């Protein structure tokens, strides 16, 4: 499970998955929650937290939601009981479900410029709607492009506040193939200004002005990240 809070990635990994982290992943601090109390001062750089409990995790998320933490870049959280930690987290928020797509055509990717950043088409599920159907609908509504599902890429979670409610949004991402882009057009009432087909190098350049979660989705598709759902 990967959760983005204020655009920072918080990865919750099983002990087995943590042992398989690539050598390129390094940490500025490793904290064992059995031996050391979690403090705001610990939240800097790239942080690995071992033996996290549900209580430790709730405290961590309180810090993340209520402090600016300008020096924090990422957290890897390795609980003894991952299911218990994720269950506690989900009880802290109202869950909203969404889905989106990486749409391809002739080795190009469909990108859109919305509210000052490059993004991928996505949106909330309607009542009773399945994730795959919602992904196709949202792509067509936001971009005018009809596309078919190829396979699932990854799942992301991110938090925000709406009407004094703390929201945890789950987004399932799918690789999609263009079927018909003859009516391609931005959905202006959703704040979308441009819809552009980009090559991979162009996408890489555009991601400098995007969200961490979107970079993660693209990296999962390109095999440079492994989904931690």
31 near 59, Cβ under 8 Å?
A: no
| Among candidate residues 129, 171, 139, 140, the one with its CA nearest the CA of residue 154 | 171
Is 226 domain-assigned?
no
Range from 23-27, 29-33, 109-113, 131-135 carrying the lowest mean pLDDT: 23-27
H helices of 11-145, in order, are: 15-19, 54-66, 82-91, 131-143
Is 29 domain-assigned?
yes
Instruction: Give helix 82-91 / helix 54-66 axis angle, nearest 10°.
Output: 40
Number of domains present in the structure of the chain? 2
Q: Are residues 125 and 203 in the same domain?
A: yes
CATH number at residue 207: 3.90.79.10
CA distance linking residue 136 with residue 121, whole number of Å: 9
107 near 132, Cβ under 8 Å?
A: no
The mean per-residue pLDDT over the stretch 97-106 comes to 97
In this prediction, residue 229 has a pLDDT band, given cuts at 50, 70 and 90, of low
148 near 177, Cβ under 8 Å?
A: yes
CA distance linking residue 144 with residue 128, whole number of Å: 23
C-beta atoms surrounding 209 within 10 Å: 10
- Whole-model pTM? 0.92
Q: Are residues 77 and 133 in the same domain?
A: no
Give the range of the structural domain holding residue 87, as residue numbers without chain letter. 2-91
Last residue of a domain, one of 54, 73, 91: 91
Q: Are residues 149 and 192 in the same domain?
A: yes
The mean per-residue pLDDT over the stretch 108-118 comes to 97
CA distance linking residue 13 with residue 15, whole number of Å: 6
Q: Is the pLDDT of residue 136 over 90?
A: yes
| Among candidate residues 174, 207, 185, 198, the one with its CA nearest the CA of residue 108 | 198
Last residue of a domain, one of 91, 125, 149: 91
The mean per-residue pLDDT over the stretch 153-167 comes to 93
Last residue of a domain, one of 73, 91, 109: 91
Is 227 domain-assigned?
no
Q: Using DSSP, state whether 122 is helix, strand or coil.
A: strand
Output the pLDDT for position 88: 94
Output the pLDDT for position 225: 78
Query: Across the chain, what does the average pLDDT equal?
Result: 95
C-beta atoms surrounding 224 within 10 Å: 10
């Amino acid at each position: 499970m990967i959760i983005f809070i204020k655009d920072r990635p918080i990865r919750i990994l099983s002990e087995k998955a943590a042992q398989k982290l690539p050598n390129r992943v390094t940490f500025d601090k490793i904290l064992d929650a059995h031996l050391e109390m979690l403090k705001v001062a610990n939240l800097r750089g790239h942080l690995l937290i071992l033996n996290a409990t549900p209580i430790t995790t709730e405290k961590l998320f309180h810090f993340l939601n209520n402090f600016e933490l300008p020096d924090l870049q990422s957290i890897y959280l390795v609980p003894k009981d991952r299911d218990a930690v994720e269950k506690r987290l989900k009880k802290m928020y109202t869950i909203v479900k969404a889905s989106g797509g990486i749409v391809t055509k002739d080795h190009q990717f469909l990108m859109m410029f919305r509210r000052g950043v490059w993004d991928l088409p996505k949106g909330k599920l309607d009542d009773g709607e399945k994730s795959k159907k919602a992904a196709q609908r949202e792509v067509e509504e936001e971009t005018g492009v009809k596309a078919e599902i190829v396979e699932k890429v990854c799942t992301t979670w991110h938090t925000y506040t709406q009407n004094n409610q703390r929201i945890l949004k789950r987004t399932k991402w799918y690789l999609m193939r263009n079927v018909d882009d003859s009516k391609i057009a931005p959905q202006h009432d959703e704040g979308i200004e441009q819809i552009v087909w980009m090559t991979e190098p162009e996408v890489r350049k555009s991601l400098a002005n995007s969200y961490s979660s979107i970079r993660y989705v693209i990296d999962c598709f390109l095999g440079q990240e492994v989904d931690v759902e």
